[in-house]
């Protein structure tokens, strides 16, 4: 996967610099063209000559040390790289990147590059757990930077905990896995619904639910990362799509979501309906604000169209996945929904369980396919849950072809 790849390796000032030497050697052995860029702090631990010998290329340190007068080095390298790796990545470099600071050659180059950037942190365990570091890493992850988690163990500072630079071979494996993942859904069209719907009463009131859309958005992001052409139909949420390739369609009501899903259903290969669509809507809506009246208020409700069942009944080659948010007898209700709505799989969760359901960044779910093969997914981030769900969908689609 890395043969002939142009890799810019950024090395920053920490004791783990010695592992960056091994990483340079292993990348070169795999056929990559490696250019090393060091901060001045990194040169205090290992000589630039070491990286020059291992990479068989010049090592870059000073923005103003232009080796070729015909080129501006940091821009040339930024454009040249297919992949940028920062290993070790100190708390300092992570902070600088997250705030757009460009005060040395490495930070300046990272601002200019369009390459995929992989960050392998290495620092004291308490530094790694500091709210500022966590916030900076989350900001970069939201921007599309890829993090390679540090290992846990004995640290150079004498502490035992998480913060040790991941082993060079593990860094390479993480990068190659990511590159392979990009091709997993290449050529597939994925249609996803997310968030709540709002059913209007009058210009200032509506019925809705607690869905935030986080699970559906996570699924859309993962599918896009895996190379799919993603269409995301979303109700009113306060979320942004991070991947520019995702086609986002904003709707409000159940009827609007029904129409949008059907507009894109025929061309879809995979359909994931994670939206929490209203089952009922007011039979009568008002153009002007309803005024308070004496006594109780009764609003007559009528059924909305069952989007999932309508898709399931008329599917041809589409692989359809539904969601079931339950509070009791979750497996029985989920299984019933799977069969009644002619689905290929269903994702069931107990929204009353701590850490699962609406409004949180984690989930606990059960994936059940139409052969009733069950996969229990314990508490994890919604992004991690989304990756597992996509994996199960891929597996089941392949099994159907067989």
- Dig out the tokens for 186 from the structure: 């290449």
Q: What's the CA gap between 242 and 223, in Å, rounded?
A: 12
> 3-state DSSP call for residue 375?
strand
Residue 33 half-sphere exposure toward CB, CA atoms < 13 A: 8
Q: Which of 124, 169, 131 is nearest to 29 (CA)?
A: 169
CA-based Rg of the chain, rounded to a whole angstrom?
Answer: 25
- The reply to whether 323 sits in an annotated binding site is yes
21 is catalytic: no
Residue 337 half-sphere exposure toward CB, CA atoms < 13 A: 24
- The reply to whether 289 sits in an annotated binding site is yes
Q: Which of 337, 270, 336, 279 is nearest to 303 (CA)?
A: 279
Q: Which of 80, 175, 171, 180 is nearest to 122 (CA)?
A: 171
88 preceded by a cis bond (ω within 30 of 0)? yes
Active-site residue, from 72, 112, 157, 290: 157
CB proximity list for 49: less than 8 A, separation 6 or greater:
59
- The reply to whether 341 sits in an annotated binding site is yes
Q: Which of 281, 256, 277, 263 is nearest to 341 (CA)?
A: 277
> 3-state DSSP call for residue 12?
coil
Q: What's the CA gap between 185 and 192, in Å, rounded?
A: 14
Instruction: Quote the DSSP letter at residue 150.
Output: P
- Dig out the tokens for 171 from the structure: 């860094």
**Are 32 and 4 within 8 A, CB to CB?**
yes
- The reply to whether 331 sits in an annotated binding site is no
- The reply to whether 291 sits in an annotated binding site is no
Annotated binding site for CTP: 279, 289, 323, 337, 341
> Active-site positions?
157
Annotated binding site: 279, 289, 323, 337, 341
């Amino acid at each position: 996967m890395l043969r002939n790849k142009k890799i810019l390796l950024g090395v920053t000032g920490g004791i783990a610099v010695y592992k960056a030497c091994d990483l340079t050697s292993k990348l070169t052995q795999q056929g990559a063209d490696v250019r090393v860029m060091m901060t001045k702090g990194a040169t205090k631990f290992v000589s630039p000559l070491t990286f020059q010998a291992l990479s068989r290329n010049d090592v870059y340190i000073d923005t103003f040390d232009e080796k070729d007068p015909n080129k501006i080095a940091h821009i040339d390298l930024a454009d040249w790289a297919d992949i940028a790796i920062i290993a070790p990545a100190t708390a300092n470099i992570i902070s600088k990147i997250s705030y757009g600071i460009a005060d040395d050659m490495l930070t300046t180059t990272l601002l200019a590059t369009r390459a995929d950037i992989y960050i392998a942190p290495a620092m004291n365990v308490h530094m790694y757990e500091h709210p500022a570091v966590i916030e900076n890493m989350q900001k970069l992850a939201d921007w599309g930077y890829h993090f390679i988690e540090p290992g846990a163990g004995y640290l150079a500072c004498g502490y035992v905990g998480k913060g040790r630079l991941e082993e060079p071979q593990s860094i390479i494996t993480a990068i190659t896995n990511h590159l392979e993942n990009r091709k997993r859904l290449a050529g597939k069209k994925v249609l996803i619904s997310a968030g709540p719907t709002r059913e209007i009463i009058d210009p200032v009131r509506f019925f809705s639910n607690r869905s935030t859309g986080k699970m559906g958005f996570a699924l859309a992001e993962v599918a896009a990362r895996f190379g799919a052409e993603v269409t995301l139909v979303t109700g009113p949420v306060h979320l942004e799509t991070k991947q520019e390739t995702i086609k986002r369609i904003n709707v409000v009501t159940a009827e609007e979501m029904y129409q949008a899903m059907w507009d894109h259903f025929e061309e879809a290969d995979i359909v994931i309906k994670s939206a929490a669509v209203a089952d009922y809507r007011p039979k009568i809506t008002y153009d002007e604000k309803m005024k308070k009246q004496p006594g109780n208020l009764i609003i007559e409700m009528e059924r909305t169209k069952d989007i999932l069942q309508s898709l399931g009944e008329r599917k041809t080659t589409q692989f359809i996945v539904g969601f079931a948010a339950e509070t009791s007898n979750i497996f029985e209700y989920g299984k019933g929904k799977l069969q009644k709505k002619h689905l290929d799989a269903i994702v069931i969760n107990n929204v009353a369980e701590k850490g699962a359901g609406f409004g949180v960044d984690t989930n606990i779910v059960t994936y059940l396919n139409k052969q009733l093969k069950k996969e229990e997914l314990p508490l994890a981030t919604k992004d991690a849950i989304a990756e597992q769900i996509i994996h199960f969908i891929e597996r089941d689609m392949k099994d159907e072809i067989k």
